[in-house]
Amino acid sequence: MSTVAGGIFTSHVPGIGQAIDKGLQQDPYWKPFFDGFHPVHEWLAREKPDVLVCFYNDHGLNFFLDAMPTFAIGAAEGYSHEDEGWGISGYKPYSGMPELSWHIINQVVGDEFDPTMCQKMLVDHALAIPVELAWPDAKSWPFKLVPIAINTVQFPLPSPKRCFEFGRSVGRALESWQGDEKIVVMGTGGLSHQLEGERAGHINIEYDMFCMDHLSRDPEALLQHSSLDIVDLAGSQGVEILNWIAARGAMRGSVTEYSRNYHIPISNTATATMLLENHATVMA
């Protein structure tokens, strides 16, 4: 019987990778962000999940603007990180779990989603940096990975409601998985940020707080806005909250907040880290 033990939600600013490379975790600029991961480390050391299902967005590495899937699910034996231009590299490769990937794909297609099925898939900073943050001392990764990429880049974007329902469908697959693995889900990106144009540097603390305050107990409150509303509210990259919404959808049963951290700015971004615990004992 598998269990979804919790969900980790975090920003994925590439500069964090450079700070890790340089060992700047205690530097006054970086410390308030890195400190938000102490409860995550303590929780992971205790829970020791075997599987990571990570909802993130690809930024032009595996998918480019000429062919952009709305939802893409990795079904490979393994995955590597490559750098799409940020000067970060050298991360360890990840082992896949194709049998669980196909189980998820079968469920979501059965639920009338149409994901792209990726038997080869490179992963970018949006997956690699959160994983480095969560398991900073790992000699090799202690989990098997199922990467799930959501288009938050090329219009038209999926709606928050669609992403939540997609996450719920993934959650149903995790619930019916017959293995005895402990699973952690992850949603990366956000919170409010806009990197380009006249509004570069746009940050909306009020909207960020609204998202953080509702994520554990009332995630459906986040579905009242359209994706374009979220671009308005949170910035053109703030819409990466769609990854958080999908990951939260995959957590079923009773969910409580274990820790949160919010810090402005890292680069142009209002950064946040949250850990939610899932108290449901998942039915086999």
Say whether 214 is catalytic: no
Stretch that binds ligand DHB, among 7-15, 29-37, 140-148, 251-259 (CB under 6 A): 7-15
Question: Which structure tokens are listed for 160?
Answer: 């928050």
Shortest distance, CB of residue 211 to ligand DHB, whole angstroms?
A: 15
Nearer to ligand DHB, 64 or 254 (CB): 64
Shortest distance, CB of residue 270 to ligand DHB, whole angstroms?
A: 9
Neighbours of 60 (CB within 10 A): 13
Peptide linkage before 93 cis (omega within 30 of 0): no
At residue 53, φ and ψ (nearest 5 deg) are -105, 110
Residue from 62, 237, 261, 273 binding ligand DHB (CB under 6 A): 237
14 binds ligand DHB (CB under 6 A): yes
Q: How far is CA 129 from its chain centroid?
A: 10
Which residues, other chains included, contact 24 with Cβ-Cβ below 8 Å and sequence gap of 6+? 30
Shortest distance, CB of residue 47 to ligand DHB, whole angstroms?
A: 27
Q: Which residues ranging from 176 to 215 are in contact with ligand DHB (CB under 6 A)?
A: 189, 193, 195
Nearer to ligand DHB, 15 or 49 (CB): 15
Q: How many residues touch ligand DHB (CB under 6 A)? A: 13
Say whether 125 is catalytic: yes
Q: Which residues ranging from 37 to 66 are in contact with ligand DHB (CB under 6 A)?
A: 59
Out of 59, 81, 125, 225, which one is annotated catalytic? 125
Q: What is the dihedral of CA 245, 120, 110, 5, to 10 degrees?
A: -50
Report the catalytic residues: 125, 193
Using CB under 6 A as the criterion, which residues of the chain lie in contact with ligand DHB when the complex forms?
12-15, 59, 189, 193, 195, 237, 240, 267-269
